[in-house]
Amino acid sequence: MKICTVSGQIISTEKNHRLSGYPLLALDVLEVDGTPTGEELVAFDTIGVGIGERVLVTIEGDAAIQLIRHKDAPVDAVIVGVIDEVELLDSEEAAHEN
């Protein structure tokens, strides 16, 4: 899975019929701390997110197909959640956790 920010919507007049009803969104991939990686991604939106939102994306064909609910859907990246907050432990806290 990857953490991303939604940067835009991709308008497609024609696409595979199995993907009808799912918007395509352009995403900027982030490090866990929120730093942009420079990597970009396109994913299907199954939950209705907006531009600027931070989202969780699965990039795994079987999981994506289950979310789209079509076993032959040509998809590998799907937005599965909106991220409200990421809490990172500092190294001292992480040491006490183990």
- Among 21, 20, 2, 9, smallest CA distance to 79 is for 2
* Residue 49 phi, psi (nearest 5): -100, 170
Statement: the pTM of the whole predicted model exceeds 0.85: no
Mean pLDDT of 35-62: 89
CATH code for the domain of 78: 2.40.50.220
Rounded to the nearest 5 percent, the helix, strand and coil shares of the chain are 20, 40, 45
DSSP letter at 83 equals: -
Structural domain count of the chain: 1
Q: Containing domain of residue 78, as a range?
A: 2-97
The pairing of beta strand 54-59 with beta strand 36-45: unpaired
| pLDDT band, very low/low/confident/very high, at 58 (cuts 50, 70, 90) | confident
